[in-house]
Amino acid sequence: MPLATLTVKKVVSLRDRLLQIPPGATFVTFTAVTVADQVKRDNPYYPIAKQSVVEGLLHFDYDGNVKRAAYKAGIDPAEWEDDGQSWHRPVFVDGHVTALSVDKATGEKVYLRVRPLKALAEPRYFAADGTELSATEAKRFLRPFKGSAKQADLGLTEKQQVCFRLYKLESIVELTHRAAMA
């Protein structure tokens, strides 16, 4: 069986599994291998792959979380309004947000939508030829994290901001989940 066929079956299986998780806050631990956000020019390792082990939260209320962060920072939560001008949209089932988002332009690319809580291991970096790179060497070519411009306009510092990440389902190597305690 060709590798592409195996990959498609894995992605469909993971997508179906994620859609079966009942609504409500759900903790997830996963390993992902992604192409790091990096500069191409003069980068002898391009593309650099990043392996991350992450604990995060699924089914989170982004707007509610940003409003709570604003309140904690002494900012009127009513000032927050998400304009919906994003390249992706969350997938809802029966009125409940799922762990998935899709590309608005195509409606085909599917992503895991997660609010990262902490890294469970130091990231590992790999050059295009598979050679493992030190974090110091890899970071010479990685772009720095940029927080949310919308939340910054609201007055939240990068440390106060609510972030979430989208991971292509193909990048998820391993995943476990458990419901949050009420």
- State yes or no: cis peptide before 47, omega within 30 of 0: yes
pLDDT of residue 83: 74
Domain tally, the chain: 1
> What is the reported pLDDT for 31?
93
Which range of residues forms the domain containing residue 60? 3-179
Q: Which residue would you say has higher pLDDT here, 157 or 20?
A: 157
For residue 180, what pLDDT is reported?
Answer: 55
Which of 33-37, 38-42, 144-148 has the lowest average pLDDT?
Answer: 144-148
Task: Please say if the pLDDT value at position 11 is more than 60.
Answer: no
pLDDT mean over 22-49: 90
**Using one digit for the tens of pLDDT, what is the confidence trace for 99-118?**
899 999 888 889 999 999 99
**Can you give the pLDDT at residue 178?**
75
Structure token pair of residue 168:
């292509």
Task: Please give the mean pLDDT across all residues of the chain.
Answer: 85
Alpha-carbon distance of 150 to 22, in angstroms, equals 30
DSSP H stretches of helix in the chain: 3-19, 62-72, 135-139, 149-154
pLDDT for residue 127 is more than 60 = yes
How far apart are the C-alpha atoms of 156 and 147, rounded to whole Å? Answer: 10
Per-residue model confidence as pLDDT tens digits over 37-89: 899 999 999 999 999 999 999 988 888 899 999 999 999 998 988 777 788 98
Please check the confidence at residue 8 and state whether its pLDDT lies above 80.
Answer: no
pLDDT of residue 16: 80
For the record, the structure tokens of 126 come out as 């790999």
pTM: 0.82
Residue linked to tokens 């974090």:
135
